[in-house]
Structure 1
Amino acid sequence: MKNTKHLLLAFALFITSTFGAFAQLQTPAASPAASVSQVVGFTKISIDYSSPAVKGRKIFGEIEKYGVTWRAGANAQTIIEFSTPVSVGGKNLRAGKYSIFMTPAQSGEWTVHLNSKAASVFAYMKDGAIDEEAIAADDAVSFKVAPAAGNTERLQYHISAENNKVAKVTMAWEKVIISFLVDTQVDQKMEGFKTAF
């Protein structure tokens, strides 16, 4: 009888710990965190983002509406960081972090925004909608980009060192590819080194 009680108690503890372990299991994230970085010239460029999948859905035009600014990823904001000053869209930017926003267009060019406050899109919500004017007010730079055709299931960012002076930053998702150039200002920095010595 005593052995039976001990056996039942051990079995109950086993079941309890097993269910506890299953309760702590996590399922994979629907939009897993991702990052990419590349050194171009003297500048390290890094992008941290979340990577949602298409999963048979129509993304641009339905889930992400045309003419409405989007956080260029999922979950939290998409952040691009430059370790040194750079030039993007013809404008000089200081070293630091910027949020990437994009405004999709049904036809024609998309708008890419680099937000100087590295703020989340949720910081710009007003009456349940995105306040486009507030985002524009915090843009360090915004510029137009013609989309290219592609076919990418899971959102991805890439950084390529075009000539070790200029980086090409690319976002690909669903049937769209958006790319823009980052001038890492190698020649200007080399001139600065020469005059310093």
Structure 2
Amino acid sequence: MNKINSLILVFAMVIFGSFSAMAQIQAPALSPAASVSQIVGFTKISIDYSSPAVKGRKIFGEIEKYDVTWRAGANAQTIIEFSTPVSIGGKTLRAGKYSIFMTPAESGDWTVHLNSKAASVFAYMKEGKIDEEAVAKDDAIALKGTTERGGNTERLQYHISAEDNKIAKVTMAWEGVKVSFMIDTLVDQKMEQFKSQF
């Protein structure tokens, strides 16, 4: 009898342990973390973001309103980092981290904001939405990104292409939109600085 009771106890512990382990399993994230990086010239460019899916919804114009600044991803802020100084839209940006925000447009090109504080997106929340004036105040640069419409990208993605190994092209693609901007990694200037040291 003791043997049978012991077997029942062991069996119950195994079953209970299995249920406990199953209870600790978490469902996959709805907007999983993603990252992309590319060395262009002497500069490593990295982007960390969360990647939401369309899931049959109308994203731009409904969930993300036109002419309202958006965090260009999901969950936390989208961060781009440069290992050396770069030039974007004719303006030199120091090495470091920047938050990416975008302002969607129904027609024409979207506005891309690179925010110098790389602060949490929640630092810019006001009455449940992003405070556009606060974002603009901290912009290192705001420029028009080249915007293409058509096709469908189910899950938000960022791409970095090396172009001629001097100029990088960063593209955000989601739903039926692609927004791109160019980054000059200042290879020629850095080569001149290097030569001038000898």
TM-score, with structure 1 as normaliser = 0.97
Report the AA paired with residue 6 of structure 2: H
| 1:16-165 → structure 2 map (5 Å cutoff) | 16-149=16-149, 150-165=151-166
1:121 is displaced (CA, Å) by 1.9
**Aligned mates of 2:184, 2:146 — CA distance in 1:** 19
Q: In the alignment, is the contact (CA less than 8 A) between 1:101 and 1:112 conserved in 2?
A: yes
DSSP-derived class of the 2:26 partner = coil
Residues 43-65 of structure 1 deviation map (CA, whole Å, 9 limit, x = unaligned): 00000111111111111011111
DSSP-derived class of the 1:147 partner = strand
1:120 is displaced (CA, Å) by 2.2
Q: In the alignment, is the contact (CA less than 8 A) between 2:146 and 2:181 conserved in 1?
A: no
Q: Is 1:191–2:192 an aligned residue pair?
A: yes
1:82 is displaced (CA, Å) by 0.3
**Aligned mates of 2:141, 2:36 — CA distance in 1:** 22
Number of paired residues?
Answer: 197
Q: In the alignment, is the contact (CA less than 8 A) between 1:167 and 1:184 conserved in 2?
A: yes
**Aligned mates of 1:90, 1:33 — CA distance in 2:** 31
Percent identity between the aligned chains?
77
1:176 is displaced (CA, Å) by 0.0
**Aligned mates of 1:89, 1:151 — CA distance in 2:** 28
**Aligned mates of 1:48, 1:65 — CA distance in 2:** 23
125-134 vs 85-94, which moves further: 125-134
Report the AA paired with residue 4 of structure 2: T
**Aligned mates of 1:127, 1:50 — CA distance in 2:** 23
184-193 vs 103-112, which moves further: 103-112
Greater than 2 Å deviation, 4+ residue runs: none
5+ long unaligned stretches in structure 2: none
Aligned to 2:7: 7
5+ long unaligned stretches in structure 1: none
Taking only aligned residues, the RMSD between alpha carbons, in angstroms, comes to 1.0
DSSP-derived class of the 1:173 partner = strand
